[in-house]
Amino acid sequence: MRQLHESMDGLHQDIVRLAGLIEETICKSILALQERDTAAAEEVIHVDDEIDRLENRIDDEAFRILALHHPVACDLRLVTAVLMITTDLERMGDLAGEIAERALHLASLPPITVPDKLQQMTDLTTLMFRQSLEAFLQLDTRQARRVCRLDDEVNRYNCEIIDEVVGLMRQSPELIEPGVSLFSAVRHLERIADHATNIAEDVIYLVEGEIVRHRPEALAL
C-alpha cells in the first residue's frame, strides 16, 4: 500500500510539472501572436517534444501502477482519471503549438489588429486551466463545477472576437489571409478551454462517480 501511495504521489508531481509547462506555452503562444514575436513562437514549438516525453512518462507510470498494484475503487478511478487528464493536457500543448504556428504565419503577412478581447479570453482560459488542475489535485468538485460554467463565457469571447475579425476582413481585402490565421488561433484557444472543461468533468466523475458531460443541470452547486 505504501508503494502505491508513493507511486500516486509521483504521478501528481509529474502532472503538476506538465501542467506548468503547458500553461507557460499557452501564454507564450498568445504573446507571440499579439506581438508578432517569432522567437517566442519558435520556443513554444520546440517545447512540444518535452511535453510529449513527460506525457509518455506519466502514461507509463499509470499503466505500471495498474499492472503491479491492481488498484480498486477510488484508487482505480484516480489512475483512470490521470490517463484521461494527461490526454487533455497533451492536446492543450498541441493547440498552443498550433497557435504558435499561426503566430509565425501572421508575422509574415500584413499586420492585422488583434482584438483586445483576445487577452481577456486568454486570461479566462488560463484561469480555467489552472482551476481545473487545482480541482483535480484537491478533488474539489465545487471548483470543478465552477470551471465548467466558465466555458460559456469563453465561447462568448470567441464569437465576439471572430465577429470583429470578420469586420476587419470586410473592410480591407488584404487582411483576409491574416484574418483567417487569426480566426484559426482564436479557435485553438477556445478548444484549450474545452479541454480544461473536460478535466473538470473528469474530476466530478472521479469524486462523485457522476457523468456530467452534456448535462448542464448537473453543474449546479
Write the pLDDT tens digit of every residue in 29-60: 999 999 999 999 999 999 999 999 999 999 99
Dihedral, CA of residue 152, residue 154, residue 160 and residue 166, to nearest 10: -120
- Segments of the chain scoring below 70 in pLDDT: 1, 71-73, 211-221
- CATH code of domain 2-219: 1.20.58.220
Please give the single-letter amino acid code of residue 163.
D
Distance CA(165)–CA(180), nearest Å, equals 8
How is the chain split into domains, by residue range?
2-219
Q: The whole model's pTM is what? A: 0.90
Distance CA(213)–CA(211), nearest Å, equals 6
Distance CA(2)–CA(162), nearest Å, equals 52
> What is the predicted pLDDT for the residue at 220?
60
**Cell numbers given for 88:** 487533455
> What is the predicted pLDDT for the residue at 22?
94
Q: Which residue has the cell 512540444?
A: 48
Q: Which residue has the cell 478533488?
A: 139
